[in-house]
Structure 1
Amino acid sequence: MSEVAMEEHERDISDLDPQECPSVVVENGVMLVVNHSHVHAPFSVVLATVLYLAEFITAAVLCSRYHKSEDNIWLGFTITFMLLPAVLIQLALTFIHRDLGRDRPLVLFLHLLLMGPVIRCFEALVVYFKAGKREEPYVTISRKISLKKGQGTPMEWEIGQSERTLATHRNAFKRTAVIQAFLGSTPQLTLQLYATIQEKYFLPVRGALMIITLISVIYGALVCSVLAIQIRYDDYKVRLRPAAYLCMIVWRGLEIATRITALVLFSTALTHWVILVGMVNLLFFFFLPWAEFWARKGSLTQDVEKNFSKLGTTVVLSMFTLLYACINIFCWSAVQLDLTHRELIERKQRWDRLAMYYCGRFVENFILITLWYFHKSDFYEYVCAPLLAVQLLIGYSLAVLFMLLFYQFCHPCRRLFKYNVHDCLHCVCCRKRTREARRKPAPSYSNAATMVLVPEEPLELLDPQNSEQPDLTSQLGGRETVIIEDIMEAA
């Protein structure tokens, strides 16, 4: 038994090539990586706080300009989309950190002043700099469990406590970033783009706010995608490569930009009808999880908060469903809600839902752009309308293409998929070959042995003569395995 094998609890299953990391060890075809990282800086907390302050301050400056010019309509909507997400963020941070039952009057007072993210960010930085003074290795989950049982040194306990505190801050700010993006930034960006077109002039402050909100929306969409992966594969620590982040940025950026542009163009031609389009989308995605909940005859989960009554649980689930609906109006949420499950998330990868969403959204955008083209105003006389319409459709198609590239090549857990993109395309395009292949099953792309860590039976799992590939999820379901630290915790 090698020294690496004796440290089984501190192993990480890696998606990297051996050349990419000097600590990678290959044993029996299985790539193993020992993680020696320190406590990571809370960059995600700082970034979310900076985006929150930048958007809030810029929107406040723009409101003063609207007040001076007596644009009361733009002023009212801008204030609404500025304050609504800010209030919800304060409630979310208070709920996650459980401050209502603690004696922290200063923190609660700053939350009332809508400055909660600032004090939370300051707390995270203080914890990080105190923990960063010691050169200690990263405390694994198994080590944390042993520390809870009274084992380990006081220094290890301190490092583990700091890491858990920072993890709480990171998780809280990831969720507030999603709230800020889809309950504040997306309607704010849509409003300001519509106001720019209607007023026929460019305001520098409004342009700055549009840029900030677009960055906030893309970041929120990235966080949403990574959170979906982490929730679905919570037995692992997920690490995405830079190529995966680049692919997701292009995918989410094109998807959201083309969607918002299509809605704004349609609203400039048929102003009142856009309200109907938005309400239909919102109500459909809001009641879809509840309809599935009633169809399954489920009962409300009691794991949201043990101290909540059934009414309180319903309110929390309704707010969660509202956020889910707002995300799906502008982009794919990457998760499916299951209100009967204690984690509220359906873990199965639903390729049919993914395909139906993007096909339906493409058709809807095509209809909106077509209606705008036939009812456009005189403002677009000097714009090549057909070229603009084609560019929007091509942009959305490119977003779908980058999404397929992400799931096919860049998804960190793609080897655990029962089916991948190439399997679906192969099933649609080459059904005859698929039927012949079923007689003699070939090794599946999604069941590569480099992702498996089973020291008891390595020869059977790696036997190329074995006609039936092992089910990775069943092999790894009862183990506390890991896939290297998520970069989102450090970025």
Structure 2
Amino acid sequence: MCEVAMEEQDREISDVEQCSSVAENGVMLVVNHSRARPPFSVVLATVLYCAEFVTAAVLCSMYHYTDDVIWMSFTIVFMLVPAVLIQLALTFIHRDLGRDRPLVLFLHLLLLGPVIRCFEALVIYFKSGKKEEPYVTISRKIKLKKGTGTEMEWEIGQTERILATHRDAFKRTAVIQAFLGSTPQLTLQLYATIQEKYILPTRMALMIITLISITYGALVCSVLAIQIRFDDYKLQLRPCAYLCMIVWRGLEIATRVTALVLFSTALTHWTILVGMVNLLFFFFLPWVEFWARKGSLTENVEKNFSKLDTVVVLCMFTLLYACINIFCWSAVQLDLTHQELIEKRQQWGRLAMYYCGRFVENFLLITLWYFFKSDFYEYVCAPLLVVQLLVCYSLAVLFMLLFYQFFHPFRRLFKYNVHDCLHCVCCHKKRRGEQGRRGKPAHSYSTAATMVVGAEEPVELLDTQGSQPPDLTSQLGERETAIVDDMMEAA
């Protein structure tokens, strides 16, 4: 019976492969027969977690030996808080409280939850190809139905489903580790290095690990935002796209942390005010929008949760969102009324406001440091350092624009490109006037666009020239539609 079922399933998959021609609206049928993908993202997140925890513990012992109570206390706090939150997140995602797994729960109490989860994922992966009845690997089919558009059906094997659960869990723990632990840890250790006026090798190693962790967490945020907004497609980012994103995020975070640390060395007490204003603003912004819309709390966080439990979870989620935005662009906007808690429409105006405001804030912080700096910087060319920080942040914005212009996997689905967005208002009005006199639409500078057409926008807004709405799926090429690999594995 098993052999017959497998033969029928193979015949069904082969039939889907034979129907790989482009359908009426340009959508292709995609199938992938490869075995389960290695859990590289799980291993990377676990290695970063363990490396940062061990290095911070060693540094705490050195602080204890030299009687640096303040540095030791803050280092312990920034080491334990994200570790505890990661244990809670993994337990919540895997729903272990209702299962009989005492060993796993005990290891979570010892803050070794990511290690046992990574070990489980590796065991599942290596055993997947040795079973007598191998699970069917991923097959995707897009069925065209008359009058109903497209419907994507996922047939995922049990092994791949379990590994996908581990990957999703570790993506979220990587973000928690990066912005609730690594960013304050990096800021603290850089401040301690400047105050003590010497470089400690262990402290330098911890700063390098935390910077890598923060960059990876920001990379995960960007890719998750793309996956959420374009959940109907699953495309793979090219290596050049990842390289562009790494440079963009690395420069943005390094510049931001340096500006905060330099300002804190000159005006220590004012740093608390700057940090609290940023934290409270981004924390209450989603709630103010929620109250302004007069929405109701989503009930899909957890079925057994009461309203109080839901509010607590949403507050923790909002806190993470605020911590991300303090140091870099979160790439997503919260919508507490939505089922997925994420606003799927790309807010380009908010993106521009964020980077303009952050540039001005960094400029003010560095300028204040320049006028109130201590004598420690008398051998440092302060004007050159200010210029370097501003140039690095400008380069981060430039690489972000390059990503959206040339390397975004869905740039063919966008309506406008970066070149169109950078046109001045006068040029835009002049082009409109010429278009009205000639009666012909003006052509875009490039066919690779970068401004997303929101899924919730009405069709009337797209049909400004009296034509039919554009068929975005017909613009997809064979390379974009045939990719089925996980877009996070390269991260």
Scaled by the length of structure 1, what TM-score is found? 0.84
Structure 1 residue 374 corresponds to structure 2 residue 371: yes
- Residue 294 of structure 2 aligns to a residue whose secondary structure is coil
Structure 1 residue 103 corresponds to structure 2 residue 103: no
**Inter-CA distance 127–244: structure 2 relative to 1 (3 Å threshold):** same
Give the corresponding residue for 2:148.
none
CA distance in 1 between counterparts of 2:86 and 2:36 reads: 26
Give the corresponding residue for 2:472.
472
Report 1:304-453 matches (<5 A): 304-426=301-423, 428=425, 430-431=427-428, 432-437=430-435, 439-441=439-441
CA distance in 2 between counterparts of 1:271 and 1:303 reads: 43
Give the drift of 1:468: 4.4
- Residue 157 of structure 2 aligns to a residue whose secondary structure is helix
Give the corresponding residue for 1:241.
238
Report 1:162-173 matches (<5 A): 162-173=159-170
Which of the numbers 104, 117, 122 marks the counterpart of 2:119? 122
- Residue 321 of structure 1 aligns to a residue whose secondary structure is helix
Give the corresponding residue for 2:196.
199
The amino acid across from 2:390 in the alignment is L
Give unmatched runs, 5+ long, in structure 1.
Answer: 12-24, 144-155, 449-465
The alignment of Structure 1 onto Structure 2 pairs a total of residues equal to 443
Give the corresponding residue for 1:452.
none
Give the drift of 1:233: 1.0
The amino acid across from 1:269 in the alignment is A
Structure 1 residue 486 corresponds to structure 2 residue 486: yes
CA distance in 1 between counterparts of 2:15 and 2:426 reads: 48
Give the drift of 1:379: 0.5
The amino acid across from 1:110 in the alignment is L
Give the drift of 1:423: 2.5
Deviates most, 467-476 or 362-371: 467-476
- Residue 401 of structure 1 aligns to a residue whose secondary structure is helix
**Inter-CA distance 447–403: structure 2 relative to 1 (3 Å threshold):** closer
**Greater relative contact order (CA < 8 Å, ≥ 6 in sequence):** 1
Give the corresponding residue for 1:7.
16
Give the corresponding residue for 2:146.
none
Give the corresponding residue for 2:180.
183
Give the corresponding residue for 1:82.
79
Cα-to-partner distance string for 1:15-47 (whole Å, 9 max, x where unaligned): xxxxxxxxxx88999695653432110000000
Give the drift of 1:441: 3.5
Give the drift of 1:383: 0.4
- Residue 100 of structure 2 aligns to a residue whose secondary structure is coil
The amino acid across from 2:185 in the alignment is Q
Q: Would you say the 8 A contact 1:338–1:344 is kept in 2?
A: yes
Q: Would you say the 8 A contact 1:336–1:345 is kept in 2?
A: yes
Give unmatched runs, 5+ long, in structure 2.
Answer: 1-11, 143-153, 450-465
Q: Would you say the 8 A contact 1:44–1:489 is kept in 2?
A: yes
**Inter-CA distance 435–323: structure 2 relative to 1 (3 Å threshold):** farther
**Inter-CA distance 58–429: structure 2 relative to 1 (3 Å threshold):** farther
Q: Would you say the 8 A contact 1:177–1:220 is kept in 2?
A: yes
Give the drift of 1:247: 0.2
Give the drift of 1:471: 4.7
**Structure 1 vs Structure 2: percent identity of aligned residues?**
79
CA distance in 2 between counterparts of 1:313 and 1:416 reads: 35
The amino acid across from 2:346 in the alignment is Q
Give the corresponding residue for 1:140.
139
CA distance in 1 between counterparts of 2:316 and 2:61 reads: 31
Give the corresponding residue for 1:454.
none
- Residue 488 of structure 1 aligns to a residue whose secondary structure is coil
Cα-to-partner distance string for 1:199-226 (whole Å, 9 max, x where unaligned): 0011000000000000000000101100
The amino acid across from 2:378 in the alignment is E
The CA RMSD over aligned residues, in Å, is 2.9
Cα-to-partner distance string for 1:155-198 (whole Å, 9 max, x where unaligned): x99x7000000000000000000000000000000000000000
Q: Would you say the 8 A contact 1:417–1:446 is kept in 2?
A: no
Structure 1 residue 37 corresponds to structure 2 residue 46: no
CA distance in 1 between counterparts of 2:65 and 2:18 reads: 63
**Inter-CA distance 106–387: structure 2 relative to 1 (3 Å threshold):** same
Give the corresponding residue for 1:68.
65
Give the corresponding residue for 1:274.
271
The amino acid across from 1:191 in the alignment is L
CA distance in 2 between counterparts of 1:253 and 1:194 reads: 19
Give the corresponding residue for 1:149.
none
Q: Would you say the 8 A contact 2:26–2:473 is kept in 1?
A: no
**Inter-CA distance 387–331: structure 2 relative to 1 (3 Å threshold):** same
Q: Would you say the 8 A contact 1:222–1:249 is kept in 2?
A: yes
Q: Would you say the 8 A contact 1:258–1:395 is kept in 2?
A: yes
CA distance in 1 between counterparts of 2:19 and 2:268 reads: 59
Give the drift of 1:136: 7.3
Q: Would you say the 8 A contact 2:267–2:372 is kept in 1?
A: yes
**Inter-CA distance 249–181: structure 2 relative to 1 (3 Å threshold):** same
CA distance in 2 between counterparts of 1:226 and 1:9 reads: 32
Q: Would you say the 8 A contact 1:426–1:434 is kept in 2?
A: no
**Inter-CA distance 58–354: structure 2 relative to 1 (3 Å threshold):** same
Q: Would you say the 8 A contact 1:41–1:490 is kept in 2?
A: no
**Inter-CA distance 227–204: structure 2 relative to 1 (3 Å threshold):** same
Give the drift of 1:56: 0.1
**Inter-CA distance 441–485: structure 2 relative to 1 (3 Å threshold):** farther
**Inter-CA distance 435–161: structure 2 relative to 1 (3 Å threshold):** farther
Give the drift of 1:433: 1.3
Q: Would you say the 8 A contact 2:234–2:487 is kept in 1?
A: no
Q: Would you say the 8 A contact 1:170–1:489 is kept in 2?
A: no
Cα-to-partner distance string for 1:76-113 (whole Å, 9 max, x where unaligned): 10000000000000000000001111111110000000
Give the drift of 1:61: 0.2
Give the drift of 1:297: 0.1
Cα-to-partner distance string for 1:426-481 (whole Å, 9 max, x where unaligned): 36462121454475346766799xxxxxxxxxxxxxxxxx95451538999xxxx8
CA distance in 1 between counterparts of 2:223 and 2:88 reads: 23
The amino acid across from 2:301 in the alignment is V
